[in-house]
Structure 1
């Protein structure tokens, strides 16, 4: 394993911890919402806004981890039916598409984050740009992880199961 691979694995692990922690916090605050609504008869209104931030984090950062671990949604049935050279071409096209999509998420997510940063989220008084920050970070990570897959493939060090057998 190269130092770059170790760094990418460490980034993916940090993302996994962040998304796991976000899921735990989401569960706890929804528990508080139910308790407040039905036991205290006082609904905590901030929970919905905080939950939106947490869901964005879970979705976009979690998707980046899926790309790193080659667990993202892709149609591998077609790759399994074709000869190895064609399969490799499909993998390259998939990685290029993922890199392009991640790059678009990064660029347009950053523009959206910058545009929305000046206003505040109601009830929790945090910058509105925080809602699109996971989109930006997730896009950058998807781009990074996809380029790493392509680099490993070019160096003939790709260990994914459905690439070259």
Structure 2
């Protein structure tokens, strides 16, 4: 178990590093585009497209691998009002429902993204399957996160998981 936690910490650190670099890239491309547009009077068509792609990757990688569960936006009024056993039941139902939904949707999502190899972005002409492959990383990470939450809720130390 310790090995798994250490591996996950390394994956999270790597994802933090990658998303930081991607965000710095967004900022650099934005500044360069502004300079080219207003100082050189040469607008760059590719800059907006590249920034959208980089932002897409930042959002999905950060959402899946960097943010902890308690850092995501949550409406937890019912959760906070519930006693520990009901929280456990709510967590189990939620993990099964959402994890199961993502798991069932994974093959279709995979198929559609692989189908996109035929299409290209407008300006850079990058293959869309590569552009949207970050969504597969997100999907798999969400499934793993819900599976881990389910295992914790079904385990002997479930009270830690529900904040009791």
Calculate the TM-score normalised by the size of structure 1.
0.85
Aligned to 2:15: 15
Displacement of 1:159 in angstroms is: 7.8
Contact 1:113–1:129 (CA under 8 A) maintained in structure 2: yes
Aligned CA distance change for structure 1 residues 101 and 68 (closer, same or farther; 3 Å): farther
Aligned to 1:54: 54
Contact 2:95–2:147 (CA under 8 A) maintained in structure 1: yes
2:118 aligned counterpart, secondary structure = coil
Displacement of 1:134 in angstroms is: 1.1
Contact 1:105–1:135 (CA under 8 A) maintained in structure 2: no
Displacement of 1:87 in angstroms is: 1.0
Q: Gaps (5+ residues) in structure 2?
A: none
Contact 1:109–1:133 (CA under 8 A) maintained in structure 2: no
Aligned to 1:78: 78
1:41 aligned counterpart, secondary structure = coil
Q: Distance in 2 between matches of 1:33 and 1:101?
A: 41
**Correspondences of 1:109-148 after superposition (within 5 Å):** 109-148=109-148
Deviates more, 1:96-105 or 1:5-14: 96-105
Contact 2:84–2:159 (CA under 8 A) maintained in structure 1: no
Q: Gaps (5+ residues) in structure 1?
A: none
- RMSD of aligned residue pairs (Cα, Å): 2.3
Contact 2:99–2:147 (CA under 8 A) maintained in structure 1: yes
